[in-house]
Structure 1
Amino acid sequence: MFGTFRSTLVAQSGLLWKSPFRLSTTRKANIRKRLKAVDEVIRVVADSGVQCKALDEAQTLPTESEMSPRDKYTVFSRHAVGYRKSMHKVPKFTKKTIRTSPEGF
């Protein structure tokens, strides 16, 4: 049918873009690779002799190998049950550096 009551994917099955509940092994590998790439950039810039506040703060962050799996793949969220939510639920998680959590979480 055409018009107001036409059958579309959204109308038939709900949301068109569904995000999986758990991270797949491929997504986890991509997150680890991205964290390692960021660590490498921080190391190269620090070795070049550049001094700035952002670089000093980036050097205090834990590296990918020092992070626990809980911190690699989940993020603190005060609204989520258990105060944690999966990394891929964060908007633009590929562009943010989220490596620390509040004490006790």
Structure 2
Amino acid sequence: MLKGIKLKFYPNAKQKQQLDWMFGNDRFVWNEMLNLINQRYKNNPSLKILSAYDMQYLLKPLKQEYTFLKESDSSSLQVVTNNLYQAWLMFFKRKHGRPRFHSRKACKQSYTG
């Protein structure tokens, strides 16, 4: 039997700001990596998709280009690349649609640390 726990979190102003920052950075990395993969796939569909490891390898140059990403947890950004890789795998297995860009205005904001 699996058990779960539901928690309700009431962050103060500083914690809300930090959470918004983390949500934004995760969304930014998702959108940048998705754009990279879309361009690569558009230019040459016969190329193998980038693996989660390859995307994680690209995080370092991305952090150098966009310095605000250095303030995020590296593990959360790695989780984003893993999720994007899984989304592409499911697309190619024809179980789900093509991965989409994430919006700032979406109701569900998520962050995995």
Shorter-chain TM range is 0.3 to 0.5
Q: Which has the larger radius of gyration?
A: 1
Identify the structure with the greater helix proportion. 2
Work out which structure has the larger RCO, using CA pairs closer than 8 Å and 6 or more positions apart in sequence: 2
- TM-score, length basis structure 1: 0.35
Identify the structure with the greater strand proportion. 1
